Amino acid sequence: MIRKKWLALLLAGCMAAGVLAGCGNSQGVGKDTAASSDTSDQGGQSGEKAEKESASTGEKVKLTALISKHSLTKDVNEMEWLNILEEENGVDIEWQQITADWDQKKSVMFAGGDIPDILFKATATTDFATYNGLFENLAPYIEAGDMPNVAGMFEDHPELRTLCTDENGAIYGLPNYRSLWPRTNRVLYINKTWVDALGLQMPSTMDELHEVLLAFRDKDPNGNGDTTDEIPLDFNGFPSFLLGCFGVPLMNESDGYYVEDGTVKNFRVDENYKEFMIWLQELYGEGLINEEVITQDYSKFQSLARGEGTTAKVGVTLGWESGDRFGTEVADQYVPLPALKPHADSDENEVYWGYYYDNNSVNAATVALSANCKNMEAAVSFIDDFYAEEIGIQVLFGGMNEVDNCIQDNGDGTYTVLPPADSSIDPGTWKWTNSFADYSPYYIADDMKDKLTMGEDMARVLAEREPLDPTLDLMEEKCDTYPAKFINYTTDENADLAMNQSNINNIVDQTYAAWLTDSTRNIEEEWDAYVKSVYDIGLAQNLEIRQTAYERYLEATK
């Protein structure tokens, strides 16, 4: 018995020792990394003074950086433009690259307090308040002239400064800006082959579109002998872009809120929304809208429009770009439509479209700097370089050099985005492979529009929006923008807005779905009660909060 006890004790001892050894090991590892960061610190101090000159002497400043990148993006160490940029700045960066689940890894890393010197595409504005003290305030560097490119961006676009400045005047994360992107995310496409096959006219009003859809339904426009396989009209979610045609100025609309005559409004309780829903309900009742429009998932929505072989299935639909929306087989059958006025006698100056330039051109908190970085000067100057004109386009589209071959310098101050070197890859994928791409720190100024020739895909995106340009120009000229992206709220306001919005959405979403799909519902009769219930459940309060914040913003940017 005693022997057994000894054995047990011995075994227990062994286990405990194992555990301790395990701890010891991990501590050892910790020390190792600490030691290596120490050496980089020393390198940092020596380089601090002779920051840029150090490049010539060959003495490099060591920094660490993290990037949360797209899964398509290749190893950033293989990006020649980045190596050149590091070289020019006399820095040597040890990259930590994250492609998946960054959100979960982030909180662990940030809460631990041990972060790399520079974080690319890895922060959200809320992180800066949550992890107070972890990040360096960049405002003083901008004031002191250490970040001339960023300062220049703020000069051109003061609203970007408002976007990233917190209530104490500090700037922890820098936004980006690009001028090249389109002003709207959706274009209404119509199958021109079908229109021609049936000998119809291109619609110029919603009423005419209605007639065309009826013909699409009945006359077998794809010519395969089956009159039931055509879906005249399909969309995904709520087609707010078409609502614009019915007279709601959706200028940077957000959650249904927009500004008209200085007042924040919500289109869900607008008279025009009622007219629009009556029209939509009629279309659905006549079998002109895909009966699964509410219940289908996105992949089905996408695959349906790509047709079967060269047989198209969808007549009219909304999309970002025809190649993406319709695939390679049937894309050439579709052409973009302009913003259609509802009826022949409608006022053309009251016809709008969804205008979302703010969302497409600006991202907040694209890059941040650790407060513990030992070589602020080098890091700040490296970050600032991302906002230089020639670097910005490379950050977005890929390198302008012999190795990367993504952009060509035409030598006269203009540039051309080159087609993919590997012709089997589409331009979008090519971009995401070779550059930091979207959501990265860059500043692509408004005049770059005239200097840069974009790739085939983006050129098509812009070309397909040309029919909408007059409408979007009109909106820029006469409508108030709702700067939702730049408005900050207090914690209490945020709580109220979120709570109310959830309740509002519950009513408006189910009412929308019910009105659309159930022809027996009388929208005209139900309207007043519906509007009252939406106001009562929280819209009244949300409009008030948003109005106050909007006026506060206008005051601040005056």
Partner 1 sequence: MGRKIFSALKRDWQLWVMILPALAYIIIFCYGPMYGIQLAFRRYDFSKGLTGGDWVGLKYFMQYFQSPMFGTTLRNTFVISFFSLICGFPVPILLALVINSLRQQKLRRVVQTAVYMPYFISTVVMVAILQILLSPSTGVVSGLLKSSHLIPQSVNLLGTPGAFVPVYVLSGIWQSAGWNSIIFIAALSSVDGQLYDAARVDGANRFKQVIHVELPALVPTIVILLIMNMGRVLSVGFEKVFLMQNDMNISVSEVISTYVFNIGVQSGQFSFGSAVGLFNTIVNFVFLMIANMVSRKTADISLM
- List residues near partner 1 by CB under 8 A: 126, 129-130, 132, 291-292, 294-297, 491, 494-495, 498-499, 501-503, 506, 509-510, 512-514, 517, 537
In angstroms, what is the minimal distance from the CB of 298 to partner 1? Answer: 12
Closest to partner 1 by CB, 410 vs 506, is 506
Phi, psi of 33 (to 5 degrees): -65, -35
Structure tokens at 84: 């050149």
Q: Give me the least distance between CB of 375 and partner 1, in Å please.
A: 28
- 215 within 8 A of 198, measured Cβ to Cβ: yes
Closest approach of Cβ 329 to partner 1, in Å?
A: 20
Tell how far CA 376 is from the center of its chain: 30
Closest CA to 238 of 6, 512, 48: 512
Name the amino acid, one letter, at 505: N
The structure tokens listed for 481 are 């923008």
Residue 320 beta carbon to partner 1: minimum distance, rounded to whole angstroms: 22
Residue 407 carries which DSSP code? E
Residues 6+ apart with CB under 8 A from 328: none
Least gap, CB of 309 to partner 1 (angstroms): 17
Residue closer to partner 1 (CB basis): 498 or 554: 498
Q: Which is nearer to partner 1, 15 or 495 (CB)?
A: 495
Residue number, 130 or 557, with CB nearest to partner 1: 130
Integer Cα distance of 142 and 149 in angstroms? 9
Least Å distance, CB 122 to partner 1, is 18
CA 284 to chain centre: 31
CA 90 to chain centroid, in Å, comes to 33
Nearest distance from C-beta of residue 501 to partner 1, angstroms: 7
In the complex with partner 1, the residue whose CB is nearer, 296 or 346, is 296
Three-point CA angle 345, 350, 351, nearest 5°: 85
Contact criterion met (CB below 8 Å) for 221 and 198? yes
Q: Which of 218, 234, 235, 215 is nearest to 226 (CA)?
A: 218
Tokens at 284, concatenated: 């659905």
* Residue 136 backbone phi and psi in degrees, to 5: -85, 135
The continuous run of DSSP H or E covering 496 comes out as: helix 491-517
Nearest approach, Cβ of residue 132 and partner 1 (Å): 5
Minimum CB separation of residue 508 from partner 1 in Å reads: 9
Residue placing its CB nearer to partner 1 in the complex, 293 or 339 = 293
Smaller CB separation from partner 1, 277 or 479: 277
Helix (H, G, I), strand (E, B) or coil at 264: strand
Q: Which is nearer to partner 1, 32 or 291 (CB)?
A: 291
In terms of CB distance, is 97 or 505 closer to partner 1?
505
Q: Which is nearer to partner 1, 54 or 317 (CB)?
A: 317
Please say which residue, 132 or 548, places its beta carbon nearer to partner 1. 132
CB of 229 to partner 1, least distance (A): 10
Nearest approach in angstroms of CB 6 to partner 1 is 17
Tell me if residue 452 falls in helix, strand or coil: strand
Query: Which stretch of DSSP H or E encloses residue 206?
Result: helix 206-218
- In degrees, to the nearest 5, what angle opens at C-alpha 303 toward C-alphas 298 and 308? 165
- Helix (H) or strand (E) run with residue 66 in it: strand 61-68
Amino acid at 438: D
Q: How many helices (H) and strands (E) does the chain have?
A: 24, 15
Phi, psi of 445 (to 5 degrees): -65, 165
